Amino acid sequence: MEWIDRMNAAIRYIEDNLMENPDLEEAAKKANSSVFHFQRMFSMLAGYTLGEYIRNRRLSRATQELLTSSEKIIDIALKYGYESPESFARAFRRMHGISPRDSRKQGVKLTSFTPISFTLSIKGESCMNFKIKTLESFKVAGKSFLVSSVDEANLKTIPAFWKECNRDGTMEKIVAIAGKSKAGILSGATAAVLCYKETDTEENWSYLAGAETSREEPGMETITIPARTWAIFESVGPMPDAIQHVWKRIFSEWFPSSNYEHARSPELELYPGGDCNSPDYYCEVWIPVVQKK
């Protein structure tokens, strides 16, 4: 319950400061979290990013002002942080399907984006199998692309990226280097590396498909995964649904009840061989963690 109270305190702070660009460090402090982890937790629980939430709440307030005042549309647009009436109209149409001007007509249908709140939910979910492991640094080489989390676009673009890697020969190169690293930390499995910068929002991040390596691989991007303690979770079931479900549970169930927080470095998905469409397919999610202070 303490965790729920802290998250709701952070949301109340954001609501109270919507018009002054909420200080995310202050919001995260109220959630007893880092900015990075607060944003990750929020997006996993809510299904959209914190940036989307703030924009939609502002637009919802702007809608109410349109309906209850005679203020000019341009003045309302500027008041709620839009650079021009045109950008306000585009955002308004995406939410409501009509123009700001038409919203003032009698009987039109509008959408309300209400403040979010977190509550305790009792679930009959199965157990989560995980282990804690501390490892030295290692390198991963492969191909990456920039991912957007807006409107959960990553759930579509990442599977499409893997298909493209199979089509363009990238996967053949990755499989060829898998298992040849001297360290052998990833045991020859194909890996996905999810990279976030501390200054980034949750809306844009880098996703790399690759394998562990001991050297620079020609024609591939190579990144170093720092020495970390890892929480390693099992995923059993067909891809990508099974692993997406595990990610959701890590942030909505495991983190709130554990003594760990995110260590703010790249996350991993590990894919051993086998039929990834099988109901018995086994893979892993690796989350870098530190103990809560």
Chain segment 127-165, per-residue pLDDT in tens: 889 999 999 999 999 999 999 887 778 888 999 999 999
141 and 84 housed in the same domain: no
Task: For residue 120, tell me if it sits in a domain.
Answer: no
Task: For residue 118, tell me if it sits in a domain.
Answer: no
CATH of the domain at 270: 3.20.80.10
80 and 35 housed in the same domain: yes
Give the chain's domain count: 2
Task: For residue 93, tell me if it sits in a domain.
Answer: yes
Residue-wise pLDDT for 224-239, tens only, equals 999 999 999 999 999 9
Task: For residue 123, tell me if it sits in a domain.
Answer: no
Pure H helices in the chain: 2-16, 24-30, 35-46, 50-68, 73-79, 85-96, 154-167, 170-177, 241-249, 255-257
99 and 143 housed in the same domain: no
45 and 155 housed in the same domain: no
198 and 285 housed in the same domain: yes
Task: For residue 70, tell me if it sits in a domain.
Answer: yes
Residue-wise pLDDT for 157-210, tens only, equals 999 999 999 999 999 999 999 999 988 999 889 999 998 765 545 678 899 999
- Per the structure, the complete domain to which residue 53 belongs is given by 2-104
Residue ending a domain, choose from 64, 89, 104: 104
pTM: 0.81
Task: For residue 115, tell me if it sits in a domain.
Answer: no
Residue-wise pLDDT for 77-105, tens only, equals 999 999 999 999 999 999 999 999 999 99
150 and 286 housed in the same domain: yes
Instruction: State whether residue 254 is helix, strand or coil.
Output: helix
230 and 277 housed in the same domain: yes
Q: Torsions phi, psi of 267, nearest 5?
A: -100, 160
150 and 258 housed in the same domain: yes
174 and 284 housed in the same domain: yes
d(CA 125, CA 270): 23
Largest CA distance in the chain: 71
Query: Shortest CA distance to 63 belongs to which of 33, 99, 22?
Result: 99
On whether the CB atoms of residues 24 and 38 are closer than 8 A, the answer is: yes
Task: For residue 109, tell me if it sits in a domain.
Answer: no
Q: Torsions phi, psi of 216, nearest 5?
A: -70, 130
Q: Torsions phi, psi of 242, nearest 5?
A: -65, -45
CATH of the domain at 69: 1.10.10.60
139's enclosing H/E stretch is strand 138-148
66 and 172 housed in the same domain: no
Task: For residue 74, tell me if it sits in a domain.
Answer: yes
Instruction: State whether residue 276 is helix, strand or coil.
Output: coil
Average pLDDT over residues 33-41: 83
Query: Shortest CA distance to 55 belongs to which of 92, 86, 84?
Result: 92
284 and 166 housed in the same domain: yes
Instruction: State whether residue 246 is helix, strand or coil.
Output: helix
